[in-house]
A and B are shown apart, each in its own frame.
Chain A
Amino acid sequence: MRLYGTEITSRLMLGTAQYPSPAVLADAFQRSGAGIATVSVRREAGAERAGAAFWSLVRELGVTLLPNTAGCHSVKEAVTTAQMARELFDTAWIKLEVIGHADTLQPDPFGLVEAARILTGEGFRVFPYTTEDVVLADRLLDAGCEVLMPWGAPIGTGLGLTNIYGLRTLRAQFSDVPMVVDAGLGLPSHAAMAMEMGFDAVLLNTAVAKAGDPAAMAEGFAHAVQAGRLAWQADPMEPRDMAAPSTPVIGRAFLE
């Protein structure tokens, strides 16, 4: 899988927040096989140095970093956060979040397109956190995005893919655009379903970090992503309403 010209071997992307400890985070990453980790920026007090400790932890993971603009509600805030993240993490990649609604954490589509255009113009490689809306996807591609990250469900809900029709339509409309289902996944089966539908990767955080055993759940997701990808490549059968015998009926013994 190539994202902005970079070859990524794992189709599972994992967040770094909410783990019970740094050791559990590292263990979860190892068992997930994730190739990309999402990270963020936050205020730091003068003598705190929490950022330096986290920085050394994520560098030891040996994965590609994807900083986000989580929590930003305006274009200006998201752009400035992206600029600070680029300097801190030394990468032009940015997972662009412009949040438009406090309860659903749904993207603000208008602000998202505007911020994507500004950041692309400044040389950023934008990964927009978006919905399954095909018109919005089209505008984001026009703005210079080469990857889309449609949500499965609102962030942190664990509801899975709540709009199968919308996601299927989005996938079909832009079949050549790398797409990562981001947010709302709760179980490995949700990830498998997204991959079976032809999405290129999935990104999750809470489902692993908040599991009773995060490392085991991370490995479960890794298997599900592989299973779903194989199924997509294998061209699944068409479902049908009536039963069709799988065992050949010709030559069956007559025993009545």
Chain B
Amino acid sequence: MKITLNGAPTDVKAETLAAALDELGYADAKVATALNERFVPSAARADAVLSPGDRIEVVAPQQGG
């Protein structure tokens, strides 16, 4: 299905957020996620079912002021 990953159109076969992260190369990465602008804790990703058009944000630690 077509989703948006960090603002870019992306195709995934996965049906959950957890599976999508595996499919997109984030397995074991230190990241936090949001689905349609709502935070999804890591423990809830396996239960977060994706729908076409969903917007996923994946963030990691970065430098900040």
Show the binding face of A for B, using Cβ within 8 Å.
Answer: 15-19, 38-52, 54-55, 58, 67-68, 70, 76-77, 80-81, 83-85, 87-89, 155, 205-206
Measured between beta carbons, the chain B residues less than 8 angstroms from A58 are 61
Alpha-carbon distance between A150 and B3 when the two chains are bound, in angstroms: 40
Alpha-carbon distance between A38 and B64 when the two chains are bound, in angstroms: 6
Q: With A45-B6, A76-B37 given, is the CB distance from A51 to B65 under 8 Å?
A: no
Is B38 in contact with A80, judged by CB distance below 8 angstroms? yes
Interface size class of B (residues with CB under 8 A): 20 to 34
B9 interfacial contact with A, CB 8 Å: no
Measured between beta carbons, the chain A residues less than 8 angstroms from B58 are 43-44
Q: With A52-B29, A80-B37, A83-B39 given, is the CB distance from A42 to B65 under 8 Å?
A: no
Alpha-carbon distance between A206 and B37 when the two chains are bound, in angstroms: 30
Measured between beta carbons, the chain A residues less than 8 angstroms from B25 are 45-47
Tell me the dominant secondary structure on chain A's binding face: mixed
- Residue from the list B39, B42, B61, B64 in contact with A51, Cβ < 8 A: B61
Alpha-carbon distance between A130 and B29 when the two chains are bound, in angstroms: 34
B9 CB to nearest A CB, Å: 14
Is A89 in contact with B61, judged by CB distance below 8 angstroms? yes
**In chain A, what residue has the closest Cβ to B58?**
A44
Q: With A44-B29, A46-B25 given, is the CB distance from A205 to B65 under 8 Å?
A: yes
Measured between beta carbons, the chain B residues less than 8 angstroms from A155 are 65
- Residue from the list B39, B41, B59 in contact with A44, Cβ < 8 A: B59
Measured between beta carbons, the chain B residues less than 8 angstroms from A19 are 63
- Residue of B29, B32, B34 most packed against chain A (CB within 10 A): B32
Alpha-carbon distance between A16 and B64 when the two chains are bound, in angstroms: 5
Show the binding face of B for A, using Cβ within 8 Å.
Answer: 6-7, 24-26, 29-34, 37-39, 41-42, 57-65
Q: With A44-B58, A84-B59 given, is the CB distance from A15 to B64 under 8 Å?
A: yes
Is B37 in contact with A51, judged by CB distance below 8 angstroms? no
- Residue from the list B34, B37, B38, B64 in contact with A39, Cβ < 8 A: B64
Given A40-B61, A45-B25, A47-B25, 6 extra CB contacts under 8 A: A17-B63, A50-B60, A54-B63, A55-B61, A76-B37, A80-B37
Is B32 in contact with A87, judged by CB distance below 8 angstroms? yes
Alpha-carbon distance between A49 and B65 when the two chains are bound, in angstroms: 21
B2 CB to nearest A CB, Å: 17
- Residue from the list A46, A70, A80, A84 in contact with B64, Cβ < 8 A: A70
**In chain B, what residue has the closest Cβ to A48?**
B60
Is A80 in contact with B39, judged by CB distance below 8 angstroms? yes
Alpha-carbon distance between A85 and B64 when the two chains are bound, in angstroms: 12
Is B32 in contact with A88, judged by CB distance below 8 angstroms? yes
Is A52 in contact with B60, judged by CB distance below 8 angstroms? yes
- Residue of B33, B38, B64 most packed against chain A (CB within 10 A): B64
Top 4 nearest A-B pairs by Cβ distance? A51-B60, A40-B64, A46-B25, A15-B65
Measured between beta carbons, the chain B residues less than 8 angstroms from A39 are 61-64
Alpha-carbon distance between A68 and B65 when the two chains are bound, in angstroms: 8
